[in-house]
Amino acid sequence: MITILNPAKVEFMLVEKRVLRMLFIVALSLTSARAQSPTADEYQVKAAFLYNFAKFVEWPPDSFATASAPIRICILGRNPFGRNLSEITEGKTINGRKVLVDQVADLQQARTCTILFVSSSEKGQLKRVFEGLQGAAALTVGDSKTFIEQGGMVNFVLENDRVQFEVNRRAAEMAGIKISSKLLNVAKRVTG
């Protein structure tokens, strides 16, 4: 079967490829930079990843109240990003949707998020968090050792001072979330 690509589709594919390449160049340069606070560098990279994950994830159509509803990147628990995440997303849109950053205090608020970063301060509550999110279409992201095994979708890991991520494809699919093969291809590990 021959697939004919129109110029708009080719341009979209090229832009998508450039965005992904740029994301990893930024991530690599930030992780290799030596500053006074390695934790700050680590969370700058994680903030960039969180923002860019939204470009390579497809949510169920009914996850947004309206066609212009924003993409909400939320943090549950202690905020390790400081202002980094807000600065990266300020004034940005993805697929015509404004990107907002919110701190959420409970699972009821977390259910309304598009991407939910579960801080390591909540690692003792992961089972309760994932049970409370059942039926919600929030991409769950964390950086706790057992995050993926307990039902999280994307987990940041540090290897040789580089931020990488692993993906639990089954957990995402159960929430109706489709993760682009481009993102899966650059993951350190994909389960499910």
Q: How do residues 5-40 score in pLDDT, each as one tens digit? A: 555 554 555 545 554 444 444 444 343 333 334 466
Range of the domain at 54: 7-185
| Domain of residue 128, CATH code | 3.40.50
Task: Examine residue 59 and state whether it is found in any structural domain, yes or no.
Answer: yes
Closest CA to 146 of 162, 131, 157, 137: 157
Q: What is the pLDDT of residues 48-82, one digit of tens each?
A: 999 999 999 999 989 999 989 999 999 999 999 99
Task: Examine residue 164 and state whether it is found in any structural domain, yes or no.
Answer: yes
45, pLDDT greater than 90: yes
Torsion of CA 123, 127, 128, 133, to 10 degrees: 100
Task: Examine residue 1 and state whether it is found in any structural domain, yes or no.
Answer: no
Task: Examine residue 149 and state whether it is found in any structural domain, yes or no.
Answer: yes
Q: What is the residue type of 173?
A: E
Task: Examine residue 63 and state whether it is found in any structural domain, yes or no.
Answer: yes
The answer to whether 132 and 110 have CB atoms below 8 angstroms apart is yes
Q: What is the pLDDT of residues 132-184, one digit of tens each?
A: 999 999 999 999 999 999 999 999 999 998 999 999 999 999 999 999 999 99
- Cβ-in-10-Å burial (0-12, 13-18, 19+) of 41 comes to buried
What pLDDT score was predicted for residue 5? 56
How far is the C-alpha of 17 from the C-alpha of 37, rounded, in Å?
A: 31
Closest CA to 155 of 147, 131, 52, 163: 147
Number of domains in the chain: 1
- Cβ-in-10-Å burial (0-12, 13-18, 19+) of 67 comes to exposed
Closest CA to 142 of 134, 61, 127: 127
What pLDDT score was predicted for residue 7? 59
Task: Examine residue 23 and state whether it is found in any structural domain, yes or no.
Answer: yes
What pLDDT score was predicted for residue 61? 86
pLDDT band for position 2 (cuts 50, 70, 90): low
pLDDT band for position 192 (cuts 50, 70, 90): confident
Task: Examine residue 64 and state whether it is found in any structural domain, yes or no.
Answer: yes
Task: Examine residue 2 and state whether it is found in any structural domain, yes or no.
Answer: no
Q: Maximum CA pair distance of the chain?
A: 56
Cα–Cα distances in angstroms (integers) from residue 144 to residues 88, 100, 120, 150, in the given order: 23, 24, 5, 10
What pLDDT score was predicted for residue 18? 55
